[in-house]
Amino acid sequence: MHLHILKSAGFGRVFGAGGRGFVVRFSMMKWDILIIRVGFVFLLAAVGYLLNPLSQTTLIDADQQTRKLISGVLGALIAVLIIAFEMRARQASLKTLIGAAVGSIMGIVGAYLIGMLISTQDINTVPGEMKVFLTIALAFFMGYIGLMVGAAKGDYLDLSALGGIFSDKTVKREYKILDTSVIIDGRIADVAETGFLGGTLIIPHFILAELQQVADSADSSKRQRGRRGLDMLQRLRNNSKLDIQILETDFPSVKEVDLKLIELGKQLDAVIVTNDFNLNKVAQLRGVAVLNINELANALKPVVLPGEAMRVFVLKEGKEYNQGVAYLDDGTMVVIDNARRLIGKTADIAVTSVLQTTAGKMIFGRLWEEKLDENGESNIAVHDSRSLGFRKATRELRQTTIIEEMES
């Protein structure tokens, strides 16, 4: 199990006292890189101060101590420029780097050959100062042109021809950012335990703060939802197959949590896992991929086709005249024609149509009347969820309903 937890005040209540001993991996990585870069700047500054390359120059009218200080500052500036180049080079692809390296080497070799041709000229034809200037300028010019052209044309390289030595198969980690709604919902833990949720699960610090705020709410219903979310986090933590990272990155200039999630998704090129319909739409408009647990649940609902039969419990009256409404175990609404008189009773229906919307699925049906063929079998398709004694129970139910109507 890979678990990285932020050390902060009050956070121990989320995962217990043992969580305070962990540190966020992303944070540690950033600190390591920052320490190396600062050390590199100080190193070049110290080298410039000690070697004092400006000690003999006539461009600076100062004593040796001042020249040392200026040399140290110059070394620090050169180190900053090198770090800026390194940060830009890390974002380039392998093909671009290879193309730039090959192009710059070829440019420098060409400049060297042309410089040799210039140096062989008679001093009366080309003065010595002009030879030095042309040689240096030509080296910079050819090196720069080779670097830029090679980087631009690097995408045309076929690295597979090199036998896989320089394969550009970078391992891209899949990050999934969990929203407060999906943590409280709890189904994300069930999906994760089945093994269908891969990659690294990111829980931002501002999501934890919001979840803790809900858990400490004075409203009992909100407090219960917040504690359920904390229980779900503990359940995710106990799953040894998951890689969970709690990220301390925040966006102080952004006030809304949903917008912070979108910005973090852009920064990490990650997917947001949520149940919030509005966040789903806004993130898609901003170009951030979203996984909606509700859409997953709707996609996994059993397929019901017109003509199939099912048994439902009529719960309440529908909006239209004489309609009854029932619900399946997964919450799907079933609207039944002419079923108002069966409210509070179990009825057998035949599906007439199925309506799929973004909010879920709706099934429309009518009271089922069994039609037997010559062999005594029903000619209406039967839903797989019925028991083997469905037809017999339906006939008994129909007889009971008729008797109740006669008695009333």
Q: What is the chain's mean pLDDT, rounded?
A: 76
Sequence-separated contacts (24+) of 119-124 with Cβ below 8 Å? none
HSE toward the beta carbon, residue 128, CA cutoff 13 A: 0
Least confident of 204-213, 250-259, 302-311: 302-311
| DSSP code string of 210-251 | HHHHHHT-SSHHHHHHHHHHHHHHHHHHT-TT-EEEEE----
CA distance 339 to 318: 9
Helix, coil or strand: residue 111: helix
Q: How confident is the model at residue 322 (pLDDT cuts 50, 70, 90)?
A: confident
**pTM of the model as a whole:** 0.45
Does residue 143 carry a pLDDT above 80? yes
Q: How far apart are CA 114 and CA 135, in angstroms?
A: 8
Q: Is the pLDDT of residue 3 over 90?
A: no
Q: What is residue 57's three-state secondary structure?
A: coil
Instruction: Please state the rounded mean pLDDT for residues 59-76.
Output: 84
Contact assessment for residue 223 and residue 229, using Cβ atoms and an 8 Å cutoff = no
User: 148 pLDDT band (50/70/90 cuts)?
Assistant: confident
Task: Give the three-state DSSP class for 165.
Answer: coil
Token pair 């121990």 is at which residue?
A: 12
**Average pLDDT rounded to a whole number, residues 48-57:** 82
Q: Check pLDDT > 70 for residue 386.
A: no
pLDDT of residue 236: 87
The token duo for 255 is 């006030």
Residues 6+ apart with CB under 8 A from 355: 361, 362, 363, 364
Model confidence at 406: pLDDT above 50? no
H-type alpha helices, 61-179: 64-90, 94-119, 128-152
Mean pLDDT of 191-209: 85
Domain ranges in the chain? 29-162, 172-298, 309-407
- pLDDT for res 77: 92
For residue 118, the model assigns a pLDDT of: 76
% pLDDT > 90, the chain: 5
* Contact partners, residue 367, CB within 8 Å, separation at least 6: 336, 337, 338, 339, 342, 347, 348, 349, 350
pLDDT at 324: 92
Q: Report pLDDT for 272.
A: 92
54 has a pLDDT exceeding 50: yes
- Tokens 């550009």 locate to 168
- Min mean pLDDT across 86-95, 126-135, 198-207, 325-334 is at 126-135
CATH number of 172-298: 3.40.50.1010
Task: Give residue-wise pLDDT tens across range 232-272.
Answer: 888 888 888 888 888 888 888 888 888 999 999 888 888 99
pLDDT at 319 over 60: yes
Q: Cα 16 to chain center, whole Å?
A: 27
> Where does the pLDDT of residue 31 fall: very low under 50, low under 70, confident under 90, or very high at 90 and above?
confident
